Amino acid sequence: MEYYFNIRYEFNKKAVHERIAQQLQKNEADYICVADGVILNTTNRDPEYLKVVNGGMFSICDSSYVPLYIRWIYGKRFEQYCGSQIFMDIIRSRKYRMIFMGTSQAILDGLKENLIHENPDVAQMQFIELPFRKVEEFDYPEIARMVEADGADIIWVALGAPKQEIFMSRLKPYLHRGVMIAVGAAFKFFSGTGVSRAPQWMIRCHLEFVHRIFKEPRKQLSRCAGILGSLPRLLLQESRRKHQQKKQSTYNQ
């Protein structure tokens, strides 16, 4: 794991899954954040939210641009590991009992129907619609009792950022075991309700944001404006951090 743009990332996919397995063996609860451009922007504007994001096990990189920025600044090569990818990797592994929480019942119903084709065990798992309310208004002790009665290893959460990350951080103290993973739009992508990821050629060309703008123009344009507004400062800060590390390394030699 390494810090870039103040977020503690794990880029190694094998290490991600090894850490999940190790965490479940410890019988302790924790969470993983899926850090896209929205989270990158928000964490660097809100110190309390940054604590939430870095308060879990680590973050995986849902942004195709962050690896490009790291390559420009540090010359290191990393790959994106987006929420929909880790979601489907774990579904298809058939290793864990899971519970699916958040979004609307219609999306959950479609999601369950489609996931059964990928993993028949899903037919016996719970898909729970959470009420629409402020993140501080959820009954976390009751939600934890429901999760633990289920015996789920993986708790998928889809409430949208930054709400879902705060939800996991608030639920964690009430859970005795399990790994929570916030996957945002992944529920919609695999529910068959008309929302899908961009075509592969757009993803390869780092143009997925264009696809999302066409699908949800008002929401995505607002997010893009926030990201673009903070990006020059973030790149400058990370470049300075690199030079400080280099100076410190030279000093210590």
Q: What type of residue is 231?
A: L
Spell out the residues 6+ positions from residue 211 whose beta carbon is closer than 8 angstroms to its own. Answer: 197, 198, 199, 202
Identify the residue with better confidence: 37 or 211. 37
pLDDT higher at 197 or 162: 162
CA distance 111 to 105: 10
Phi/psi of residue 35, each to 5°? -90, 105
* Helices 83-93/13-25 angle, 10° precision: 60
Average pLDDT over residues 233-245: 89
The single-letter code of the amino acid at 208 is: E
Cα→Cα distances 235→89, 97, 111, 231, Å: 32, 40, 38, 6
The residue among 126 and 1 whose pLDDT is bigger is: 126
Quote the pLDDT of residue 31: 98
Residues 6 or more apart whose Cβ sits within 8 Å of residue 26: none
d(CA 132, CA 211): 27
- Model pTM? 0.89
Element (H, E) at 201: helix 200-204
Choose between 214 and 116: higher pLDDT: 116
C-alpha–C-alpha distance, residues 219 and 223, integer Å: 6
Q: Which residue has the higher pLDDT, 172 or 233?
A: 172
Determine the distance from the C-alpha atom of residue 33 to the mean position of all C-alpha atoms in its chain, rounded to a whole number: 4
pLDDT at 92: 97
pLDDT at residue 252 is higher than 90: no
pLDDT digits over 34-78, tens only? Answer: 999 889 999 999 999 999 999 999 999 999 899 999 999 999 999
CA atoms of 173 and 167, how far apart (whole Å): 11
Contact partners, residue 62, CB within 8 Å, separation at least 6: 34, 35, 36, 39, 80, 81, 82, 83, 184
Pairing of strands 126-128, 58-61: unpaired
CA distance 152 to 193: 26
